[in-house]
Structure 1
Amino acid sequence: MGFKDSFVSRDLMFSLGIEETSGRFYLSFPVSNGLVDYEEYYEIDKTSFDLFQADLKVADAFAMTCRRRERDDLLIQKPGVKRGTAI
């Protein structure tokens, strides 16, 4: 998979982009499991992708639901046994 960020919010610690192989849009954020830091990628639709870039409050609210693991159904890559927590 080739994740390509097109928007990054350093303050809110999330990115928006497109997975190049499938063309799916995503929101991602860093996580850590104590051994390694990595990103979790959550699939979003084009409407959300456009909205999140225009309204960072809405994007941050969505990212918070993902950080609380309330949107795991949208994970593009399922986590392993030692799943990290949001940084």
Structure 2
Amino acid sequence: MKFTDVAVNKDERFSIGIEEDSGRFYLSIPVRNEYVDYEEYYEITKDEFESYKVDLNSAQTLVNRCRKREVDNRLIQ
């Protein structure tokens, strides 16, 4: 899988982009546990992607839900 960020919010620590092999859109957040740091990728719709691309801050509600593990059904990886 090749994840390509299109927009990054450095202050809130998340990004949106396109997974090149499948063409799916994603929102990613950094995750840390006691063993490793990694990124989690959550699938978003094309409409969500286009909306967040125009106003990246509008993704904050979804980012918060991802961090709370409320939308794990969207996990790509």
> When the two structures are superposed, what TM-score results if normalisation uses the length of structure 2?
0.93
- Aligned pair 1:10/2:10, yes or no? yes
- Aligned pair 1:54/2:54, yes or no? yes
1:65 matched residue in structure 2:
65
Where structure 1 has 5 or more consecutive residues not aligned to the other structure, the ranges are 78-87
Q: Kindly provide the amino acid, as one letter, of the partner of residue 30 in structure 2.
A: P
1:35 aligned counterpart, secondary structure: coil
Deviation at 1:53, TM superposition (A): 2.0
Contact 2:7 2:56 in 1 (8 A): no
Cα distance per residue 1:35-82 (max 9 Å; x no partner): 1110000000110001112223320111101110110000002xxxxx
> 64-73 or 51-60: which moved more?
51-60
Return the alpha-carbon distance in structure 2 between the equivalents of residues 42 and 56 of structure 1. Answer: 15
Return the alpha-carbon distance in structure 2 between the equivalents of residues 61 and 21 of structure 1. Answer: 27
Structure 1 runs, 4 residues or longer, greater than 6 Å off: none
Contact 1:28 1:42 in 2 (8 A): yes
| Correspondence list, 1:11-50, <5 A | 11-50=11-50
Return the alpha-carbon distance in structure 2 between the equivalents of residues 67 and 26 of structure 1. Answer: 15
Q: What's the C-alpha RMSD, in Å, of the aligned pairs?
A: 0.9
Quick one: percent identity of the two aligned structures? 56
